[in-house]
Structure 1
Amino acid sequence: MTRTVTAAVLLIGDELLSGRTRDINLQQIGQFLAPVGIDVAEARVVRDDRDQIVDALNTLRAAHDYVFTTGGIGPTHDDITADCVAAAFGVSIDIRDDALAILEEWYAKSDADLTDARRRMARIPDGASLIANPVTGAPGFQLENVFVMAGVPKIMRGMLEDVAGRLEGGTETQSVTVPAEELREGDIAAALGEIQQDFESVSLGSYPYFNDDGTRGVNIVARSRDADALHEAEAALRRLVDARGRSAS
């Protein structure tokens, strides 16, 4: 039997909504989770606003098996994610000895001062377990099904390595792409809808492309946890494209 496990990603930061920072964390998390059979089913972007973060977090953690947050755990005044997570779970938060010890060792090695601002990064909600940060030392943390990580992509990606062993995945989703060169979505829309009705366990999507040389077409993507159904759907899609006079090689 197939098992569906879902995750949500909560991207936190004014800089994302203003366009000053381009997010790639969602893509990295999705690529990291797919091979272990966890689907990113929802993503939200919120400001550095306490009420928005708490509301979004409580909604997402109730709806999905896992939630991954990025951003807002640094040393500055607008890094409020840890406090918001504590508020969402109704627990206290303070500097924790094990997190502080990690920072003390890290900054001693780098010959930098552990300032009061940097000490803020050792504030961890009660009951949370730490997530190792191999890039800059300052840990993230896990509280129940919520994983709280840095917003800087390189740091976030490093933290995921410590998260991997804590995840229970489902059946991996497989996908195939059938190219339909020189066809438009309107050329295949009706037939594609009929194929979708025939294969309820397969998700079908059509994605137009336009090349610089003037050529165009549609990539039809089929995704499913049922390998047999996916194979049959792929054959139906190739017959559809062939019938329209374009090879799906």
Structure 2
Amino acid sequence: MPEIVTAAMLVIGDEILSGRTKDKNIGHLADIMTAIGIDLKEVRIVPDEEDEIIAAVNAVRARYTYVFTTGGIGPTHDDITADSISKAFGVPCEYDARAYAMLEASYAARGIEYTEARKRMARMPRGADLIDNPVSVAPGFRIGNVHV
């Protein structure tokens, strides 16, 4: 009997909880996972609060094969997902040299200033693997079974 592959999804953001932004990721990701045989078992929507993100990540990463997050890795001051995931794993959040260089080159090619805010998108937990992002270049990351 093959092992059942399971997943949880964490939707991170006050804008989802307030209704200012309507989630479009849950259904999309559920469709993709179902199509490839991953059983989505749980979805949590959590606020932009470090303690809440850490608690949710640690709870679901222990229960499921995969954890997918949405929200919270942009260039604004309230995007605290990378910091929170780092703390959940007990590692520092730092600039990833590969991500930093990719973003720097992308902005330079378009003649756009590589500001401190934009550089924040190159921050991730130490030891994380990059997840390619063909849409905006800013990579996601994977650490353990958590995909951000």
- TM-score norm. by structure 1 comes to 0.58
User: Aligned partners of 2:96 and 2:3: how far apart in 1?
Assistant: 37
User: Aligned partners of 1:97 and 1:5: how far apart in 2?
Assistant: 33
Aligned length: 148
Residues 187-240 of structure 1: per-residue CA shift (max 9 Å, x gap): xxxxxxxxxxxxxxxxxxxxxxxxxxxxxxxxxxxxxxxxxxxxxxxxxxxxxx
> What are the residue-to-residue correspondences of 1:121-200 with 2, within 5 Å?
121-148=121-148
Structure 1 counterpart of 2:67: 67
Matched residue type, 1:76 = T
Note if 1:109 corresponds to 2:105.
no
Structure 2 counterpart of 1:43: 43
Shift of 1:35: 1.9
2:141 counterpart SS class: strand
Shift of 1:2: 4.1
Structure 2 counterpart of 1:17: 17
Residues 32-76 of structure 1: per-residue CA shift (max 9 Å, x gap): 111221011000001000000000000000010000000000111
| Greater Rg by CA | 1
Residues 64-120 of structure 1: per-residue CA shift (max 9 Å, x gap): 000000000011110000000000000011112111011011111222110011001
Mark the runs of 5 or more structure 2 residues left unpaired by the alignment.
none
Greater mean alpha carbon deviation, residues 16-25 or residues 101-110: 101-110
User: Aligned partners of 1:90 and 1:2: how far apart in 2?
Assistant: 33
> What are the residue-to-residue correspondences of 1:216-227 with 2, within 5 Å?
none
Residues 3-26 of structure 1: per-residue CA shift (max 9 Å, x gap): 311100000000000001110101
Structure 2 counterpart of 1:30: 30
Q: Which structure ranks higher in relative contact order (CA pairs < 8 Å, sequence separation ≥ 6)?
A: 2
2:133 counterpart SS class: coil
Identity over aligned residues, as a percent?
A: 54
User: Aligned partners of 2:79 and 2:108: how far apart in 1?
Assistant: 23
Structure 2 counterpart of 1:3: 3
Structure 2 counterpart of 1:186: none
Q: Runs (4+) of structure 1 moved beyond 3 Å?
A: none
Structure 1 counterpart of 2:90: 90
User: Aligned partners of 2:86 and 2:100: how far apart in 1?
Assistant: 18
User: Aligned partners of 1:4 and 1:40: how far apart in 2?
Assistant: 11
- TM-score norm. by structure 2 comes to 0.97
RMSD of the TM alignment (CA)?
A: 0.8
Greater mean alpha carbon deviation, residues 98-107 or residues 79-88: 98-107
User: Aligned partners of 2:5 and 2:125: how far apart in 1?
Assistant: 26
Matched residue type, 2:9 = V
User: Aligned partners of 1:110 and 1:28: how far apart in 2?
Assistant: 30
